[in-house]
Amino acid sequence: MEKFYIGLANGIHDPAMAVVDSDGEVIYAEGTERPLQNKRAVGLTADLRETVRRVIKEHCNPHAEFIVAKPLSQRVHRVLSVLNVLGATDHEQLPRRPAVMTKFLLEKNVLFAETWLAYTSICLSGGNIADILRTEFGNGKVSYVKFDHHYAHAANASFTSPFDEAACMIIDGYGEGGSISYFEYRKGRLRERYRVKGEESLGFLYGVCTSFCGFNTEKGEEWKLMGLAPYGKLDPKILEAFRSLVKVDGLSIRYPSLRSVKAWFDQMKTFTREKKASPMDLADLAYTTQDFYTEVMTKLLNNLYALRISDNLTIGGGCALNSSYNGQIVGLTSFKHLHVPCAPADDGNALGAALLAYFQDHPERKPRGVVQSPFLGASLSKRTIANLARFGGIGKLHHLPGTIHRATAELLAGGKLVGWVQGRAEFGPRALGNRSILADPRPVDMKDRINALVKFREEFRPFAPSILDEFGDEYFENYQVSPYMERTLTFKESVRQKIPAIVHVNRTGRLQSVRREWNERFYDLIYAFYELTGVPLLLNTSFNIMGKPIMHSVEDAVGLFYTTGLDALAIEDYLIEK
């Protein structure tokens, strides 16, 4: 019997759905925020009816057997079911966290205590799949399985890696019973080695400091703190406050007491950014927060390495999005190789749960040990593209099958800002060459142009370099392959003046390594630009504006094109110029 395994990331933020087929191939994965164009899709479900209907029709046999997997254990589902029946809305029912910090975040409308009942319903959801299969396809062959939250993170991090064996660290704001877990991955199987149980959370502290800097953790703006940090310097008083609160104990972190948490909070609260103040006023706080995060993570990872599980490391959880630290792991710890999945946060748990369900059904099989393609989302509507060409009344529209990459490279080399939309969407938060805004990295003012004319965002925010992998050693110190733009490395001094638009203030760049076998059309575009300019990389940023998700449809792309300072739009084989 043919089977499909549908994973649902059902949480208060970043819901997503993923599908694995009978051969263990990942055939679909996408976050709810994309089709809804609702950043992080807070409080919404993963199994949107229209999405479920489309995915079943396009990617599955609707008459096959379906296994629906959720990344919250049976124990948690029982608790949530009771809360749902009781109608609990009191924030005291939330998983325990330090009371002072919880109060602060509730005041900032981050945890949404008033929607706790809705949260329980979201976590328990998943019935739309069964309902659509039954009513529209006459198929009642649906069953459900549940997995621990961090176990799903570990599966996503390890099963999608090129490793046969690895040590795995999962670190996020909170999981089931704690925020940090460690696993051993070997021969296609995961074994939990240790879990930090309790309220202590490095990710939660990072989120609190993000709020102190005036950024919104509900919208996942911890990356803004990361981008701001290089503009600051180490503040000894702030660092001492961190060190007085958090103690590393083997694989754990500990708070001395709740009294110490309150003392830390009261001290740090004095740094809260005023509404009209510049983010730059908090740059020292951002720098010191990132520095302390690096200090604690390095200690924990070296203690993990001491278990002698492997020289390979996989990491997952929301904190695995800290690309500034990811790029330092190989240099600061004893691990030799690192893998971070394309969607390491809660959205990636849809894929982790689907893979766990598959390998639970097929214990004799194991992951292929290759880098998972991130191009797993929705494709563009061919019909809509044809209608755009037919009815758009666009003066400068060219149909360029086979040569779109060369024409686009010429525009980029001439200083034009280009929206580049091709194939299937990327899974995860990074634009990796299919839903991207691209530019020439050589002009000194290019970064400011894009921030001001296209992205409409803060001036301190950096842009990423997408580089042909074979040139990585020429441009970066201690180059590491980074397929998902998941780590930040230091540019070599000899190249910084050539590409100032993508060199951050601390001489780094969050790079994407591009190989032709991973993304043929994007590789060909960068290579064509290299032939014209001698520079084998492009400035790459996500095709969106600040506060919105990456574009999803043809209509999204065209709307953004005509309401921003973009000069051209390459959408499949069509090139539109203003």
Residue whose entry in the numeric block shows the structure tokens 């008033």: 114
Tell me which H or E stretch contains 105. Answer: helix 99-107
Instruction: Report d(CA 146, CA 541) in Å as an integer.
Output: 36
Q: Which residue has the higher pLDDT, 202 or 92?
A: 202
Give the separation between CA 52 and CA 149, rounded to whole angstroms. 22
Does the structure show a pLDDT above 60 at 117? no
pLDDT at 111: 44
DSSP 426-471: BSSS---SSEEEEE-S-STTHHHHHIIIII---TT---EEEEEGGG
Q: What is the pLDDT of residues 492-521, one digit of tens each?
A: 999 999 999 999 999 999 999 999 999 999
- pLDDT, residue 276, reads 87
Model confidence band, residue 275 (pLDDT cutoffs 50, 70, 90): confident
Question: Are 439 and 445 in contact, with CB atoms under 8 Å apart?
Answer: no
What is the topology classification, in CATH, of domain 202-333? Nucleotidyltransferase; domain 5 (3.30.420)
* pLDDT tens digits, one per residue of 51-66: 999 999 999 999 999 9
Share of the chain above pLDDT 90, in %: 81
Instruction: Report the percent of the chain where pLDDT is more than 70.
Output: 92
pTM of the full structure:
0.94
What confidence category does residue 86 fall into, taking pLDDT thresholds of 50, 70 and 90?
low
Q: Are both 202-333 and 382-577 of the same fold?
A: no
Judge contact between 544 and 394, C-beta under 8 A: no
Q: Which CATH superfamily is domain 382-577 in?
A: Carbamoyltransferase, C-terminal domain (3.90.870.20)
Q: Which of 532, 500, 511, 515 is nearest to 409 (CA)?
A: 532
Residue pair 62/6 in contact by the 8 Å Cβ criterion: no
Q: What is the pLDDT of residues 448-465, one digit of tens each?
A: 999 999 999 988 999 999
Mean of pLDDT values over 293-314: 98
DSSP 234-299: --HHHHHHHHHH-EEETTEEE-S-HHHHHHHHHHHHTTPPPTTS-GGGGHHHHHHHHHHHHHHHHH
Residues in contact with 549: Cβ distance below 8 Å, sequence separation at least 6, in sequence order:
31, 33, 34, 37, 38, 39, 40
Give me the residues paired with residue 185 across strands. Answer: 166, 190
Q: Which CATH class is domain 3-94+110-160+345-361?
A: alpha beta
Q: How would you label 111-142 residue by residue, b for 16+ Cβ within 10 Å and e otherwise?
A: bbbeebebbbbbbbbbebbbebbeeebebeeb
Measured over the CA atoms of residue 490, residue 493, residue 498 and residue 503, the dihedral's sign is positive
Helix 116-124 to helix 74-86 angle (10° resolution) is 130
Q: Residue 321 gets which letter from DSSP?
A: G
Domain ranges of the chain: 3-94+110-160+345-361, 202-333, 382-577
pLDDT per residue over 373-430, tens digit each?
999 999 999 999 999 999 999 999 999 999 999 999 999 999 999 999 999 999 999 9
As given in the structure block, the two tokens for residue 522 are 């994007």
